[in-house]
Structure 1
Amino acid sequence: MVETGVAERRANKRGQATRESMLDAALHALATGDPASVSGNRIAKDAGATWGAIKYQFGDIDGLWAAVLRYTAERRGDLPARTAPGATLHERVATIVDNLYDGLSGTDSRAIETLRAAMPRDRDEFERLFPLTAAEFASWREAWLDTCRRAFAGLGVDPDRLAEVAAFIPGAMRGIVSERQLGSYSDLDLARTGLTNAIVAYLDPGTA
């Protein structure tokens, strides 16, 4: 006879595997860019499950999308902060730019863009209809700012200028990544170098 504790651990592992397979199915569906991929029934079909099974795991569609966002955050980790302690300001900025350039074209980022496009533009309506999803998105701002603070710790960077850079750099990098995806006559390596140099010049404590 299998001991109760062993049976529970096996059940928990199966439940976790089922949950992750549903999250993976949601991510891959969203990453196609198909507006229909935000349908709960579509996700259930792709996961080989029923909508009832999805609801059992996540509660409702809002709970599913919030879980998808947490899942991508866990997979992404804290890449921009992984700079060597002795790295120069230029090296740290270049690391962030390179990480975003690579990461924003990945499956998770494409999925997030599709999800964002499907959410209400009005913030009040968004928070009313999808409170859990809205809360996850809102939490990213402070998490990203904290990541940037730690990435530039010890360099004497002005905190106000750092907050400005943290606010604009994701959007700036999305623009460069979009150029790559759409096909561009621009030299995107030159664009990344220019953006890096501009940020370094702005953050350099000697110019504050």
Structure 2
Amino acid sequence: MVEPMTQTTAPRRTNRRGQATRDAMLDAALRALATGDVAAASANRIAKDAGATWGAVKYQFGDIDGLWAAVLQRTAERRGQLEPAHFARALTSTAAPEAPLSERVAAIIDVLFDGLSAPDSRAIETLRAALPRDGAELERLYPRTSAELQSWGRSWIEACQTAFADVDVDPERVREVASFIPGAMRGLVSERQLGSYYDLDLARRGLTGAIVTYLQHSRG
């Protein structure tokens, strides 16, 4: 379990040198978390890996809550997730602009299947495993981290709705599909990592087909 927030010092505004220090600390945090070791979600561990004291980390981020919120924002920036329209284009980048529904769904499935094994994704999974499961407790102990995670959910759903905005499907069904795709893809990625006995290409095609069929019948 990560240490709860112990003080409320606001993160400082940084100059160029301070920004470089801040970036180095964020990179150290992501590298540590990407190992998959839940113990890496430790203030002292991150400070040690960054070659700094915990006081120096607090100087940059205010507290552990500020650090985790900044880590989440860094990964969101890398994916273009802060701008839903850009994020939607990234999700369907392998499909033509006027591609049919099936190609767009397949593109999103492929992006997640590859992306969820990336170091940033592993880092976020490790952090989430160390944070409180209960939403109210998470918000109480780590309000900034909680707010960042909630913004992720909103931007993901908005990006999916944007990706299908010019297709004749029910936006509410798109919202439903967007809500379960990440969990479903984590299951397939886990199967790949464990060494699955299943044909995961077949599984991805089946999931794509099921989603397309559900969305196509949304106007029926």
Query: Normalising by structure 2, what TM-score?
Result: 0.86
> How big is the shift at 1:207?
5.8
Distance in 1 (CA, whole Å) between partners of 2:96 and 2:22 is: 36
Q: 2:152 — aligned with what?
A: 140
Q: 1:55 aligns with which of 54, 58, 81?
A: 58
Deviations 1:87-115 (A, max 9, x none): 11111001100000010001011111111
Pairing 1:174-193 to 2, within 5 Å after superposition = 174-193=186-205
| Identical pairs, percent | 69
Q: Are the equivalent residues in 2 in contact too, given 1:97–1:196 (CA < 8 A)?
A: yes
**Distance in 2 separating the partners of 1:164 and 1:26:** 33
Deviates more, 1:80-89 or 1:97-106: 80-89
Partners of 2:43 and 2:64 within 8 A in 1: yes
Match of 1:80 among 91, 95, 104: 91
**Structure 2 residues not aligned, in runs of 5+:** 1-13, 81-86
1:172 to 151, 176, 184: 184
1:128-155, CA deviations, whole angstroms, 9 ceiling, x for partnerless residues? 0000000111111110111001111211
Any stretches of 5+ residues in structure 1 without a counterpart? Answer: 1-10
Q: Secondary structure at the match of 1:204?
A: helix
**Paired residues for 1:24-39 under 5 Å:** 24-39=27-42
Say which of 17, 20, 26 aligns to 2:20: 17
Q: Judge conservation of contact 1:81–1:148 (CA < 8 Å) in 2.
A: no
Q: List structure 1 runs of 4+ shifted beyond 6 angstroms.
A: none
**What one-letter code is carried by the residue in structure 2 that aligns with 1:62?**
D
1:162–1:203 Cα contact (<8 Å) kept: yes
Q: How does 1:62-101 map to 2 (within 5 A)?
A: 62-77=65-80, 78=87, 79-82=90-93, 83-101=95-113
Distance 1:181 1:85 in 2: 32
Cα distance change on mapping 1:206 and 1:140 into 2, 3 Å? closer
Distance 1:206 1:166, change over 3 A: closer
1:117 corresponds to which residue?
A: 129
How far residue 84 of structure 1 moved from its aligned partner, in angstroms, is 3.1
CA distance in 2, matches of 1:92, 1:150: 11
Structure that is richer in helix per residue: 1
Question: Matched residues in 1 for 2:118 and 2:218: separation?
Answer: 36
Q: Is the 8 A contact 1:81 1:147 kept in 2?
A: no
| In 1, Cα distance between equivalents of 2:78 and 2:116 | 13
Q: One-letter code of the match for 2:32?
A: A
SS in structure 1 at match of 2:15: helix
Distance 2:91 2:35 in 1: 26
Q: How many residues align?
A: 198
Cα-Cα RMSD? 1.4
Question: What residue in structure 2 maps to residue 3 of structure 1?
Answer: none
Q: Secondary structure at the match of 2:18?
A: helix
Instruction: Please tell me whether the aligned partners of residues 33 and 127 of structure 2 are also in contact (alpha carbons under 8 angstroms).
Output: yes
Distance 1:206 1:172, change over 3 A: closer
